[in-house]
Chains A and B, each alone.
Chain A
Amino acid sequence: MRGPSPLTPGERELIAGYVSGLNACEFCHGAHTAAAVAFGFPEDLMPKLLDNVDTAPVPEKLRPILKFVKKLTLTPARMVQADADAVFAAGWTEAALHHAIAVAARYNLVNRLIHGHGIGANPDTFRARGAHIAGKTGDNWKENESVLDRQGQEKG
């Protein structure tokens, strides 16, 4: 989510929130949508994406990537070369597709961890969580990690 990538951290958070929304995982959807917003995407974008990825006001270059991860999430066995070609035709490299697949696969994993353990969501905390997640970039990753650990301990 934060390593060097053709996709910005914000774009990866948008994919994470979108995949989690498709899987109806309230916890991840809320937290990662808030992180995407903290990275600068407008608040009303995610509902529009979930409503219709073809018409949502998202940068055109991102649209084929979002359609790719939607299909990979909901009907993985139906992926075809044309799905990847649409991503390349929008100007992305093969590395970008690798990274999009990694993010989509990761949230298909994490969403099922949440659903499997029955972890609920608290919408009040999404904004704060999103800001924290968005703040975990590059050099200050470890620092933020320890801040989150401390908060976790304080909450007990």
Chain B
Amino acid sequence: MAQRPEIYRHWHQVGEGIMRGDSPFTPGERELIAGYVSGLNACAYCHGAHTAVAVAFGFPESLMPSLLDNIDEAPIDERMKPVLKFVRKLTLTPAQMTKADAEAIFTAGWEEIAVHDAVAVCCYFNFMNRLVFGHGIEFDPDPDKVRMLAERKKQLGYANRDDLPEDHPLVRKVRAGKEAISSSS
């Protein structure tokens, strides 16, 4: 993405908005959806990275494999199950979506904006997974490195300050996050 600023200049802000902006879903829940969608697409890079961020936000490490195996039996809040089923279908068989898929989310107690936000995260990672596959980008599974990068993503989010003015809120956030990381290590 850094190689093609003419295309992706604003993409980091899209990512920050979708993954860290106001939403009925916590950032951790959105990272869980990201890791799950990427797992369905067998994108080792995004799956590994975003599952680790979901773990950094507090989800147990064993959750993702059980979700990919069977959502119904996975040990997760019942309210998340219809959301994960929705993004599963939207990832694998998008043309088969029906109103009932959204209704199941409302029945679980979510408001309409939750469907919007789940769709956005799902779409974002169907995009990212294909960028990774299209360019043949490989995942480095070294656990220490994965944990370190996940911690950075948790604290810094998705903003890339290179294209933004110094006083932009995202730039201030990234700077504060970097200071927090350097003072804790």
**Assuming A77-B133, A84-B136, is B122 touching A112 (CB within 8 A)?**
yes
User: Could you tell me the distance in whole angstroms from the C-beta of A23 to the nearest C-beta in chain B?
Assistant: 6
The answer on a CB contact under 8 Å between A76 and B130 is yes
Of B64-72, B94-102, B149-157, the one with at least 4 CB within 8 A of chain A: B94-102
Please tell me if the beta carbons of A76 and B123 are within 8 angstroms of each other in the complex.
no
Residue in A25, A98, A108, A118 whose beta carbon sits within 8 Å of that of B126 in the complex: A108
Q: Which of B8, B94, B136 contacts A115 (CB under 8 A)?
A: B94
- Is B127's CB under 8 angstroms from A105's CB? yes
Q: Is the CB of A98 within 8 A of B3?
A: yes
A84 surroundings in chain B (CB, below 8 A):
136
In the bound assembly, the distance between CA atoms of A77 and B130 in angstroms comes to 8
Contacts A112-B126, A117-B119; A79 near B134 (Cβ below 8 A): yes
Residue contact B94 to A101, C-beta cutoff 8 Å: no
Given A106-B127, A109-B124, A118-B102, are A23 and B134 also a contact pair (CB < 8 Å)? no
Report chain A residues within 8 Å CB of B168: none
Question: Given the complex of chains A and B, what is the CA–CA distance between A138 and B7 in angstroms?
Answer: 15
Check if B113 is an interface residue, CB within 8 A of chain A.
no
Chain B interface size, as a band, is 20 to 34
Interface size of A by CB at 8 A reads 32
Give 1 or 0 for each of A80-96: 1 = CB within 8 Å of chain B CB: 01001000000000010
Task: Judge if B167 is at the interface, Cβ distance under 8 Å.
Answer: no
Contact with B along A98-121 (1 / 0, CB 8 A): 110110111011111101111000
Say yes or no: B102 contacts A104, CB within 8 Å: no
Nearest B residue to A102, CB-CB? B7
Q: Quick check: B3 and A109 within 8 Å, CB to CB?
A: no
Write the chain A residue with the least CB distance to B8.
Answer: A102
Instruction: Determine the distance from Cα of A110 to Cα of B8 in the docked complex, in whole angstroms.
Output: 16
Question: Are A113 and B123 in contact (CB-based, < 8 A)?
Answer: yes
Known: A23-B94, A77-B41. A105 touches B119 (CB 8 A): no
- 18 additional A-B pairs beyond A76-B134, A84-B136, A116-B86, beta carbons within 8 Å, are A4-B6, A25-B94, A72-B133, A72-B134, A73-B130, A76-B133, A79-B133, A95-B4, A98-B3, A105-B127, A106-B127, A112-B90, A112-B126, A115-B97, A116-B94, A116-B97, A116-B122, A116-B123
A-B contact pairs, 21 of them (CB 8 A): A4-B6, A23-B95, A25-B94, A25-B95, A72-B130, A73-B130, A76-B42, A76-B43, A76-B134, A77-B41, A95-B4, A105-B126, A105-B134, A109-B127, A112-B94, A113-B120, A116-B86, A116-B115, A116-B118, A117-B119, A118-B102
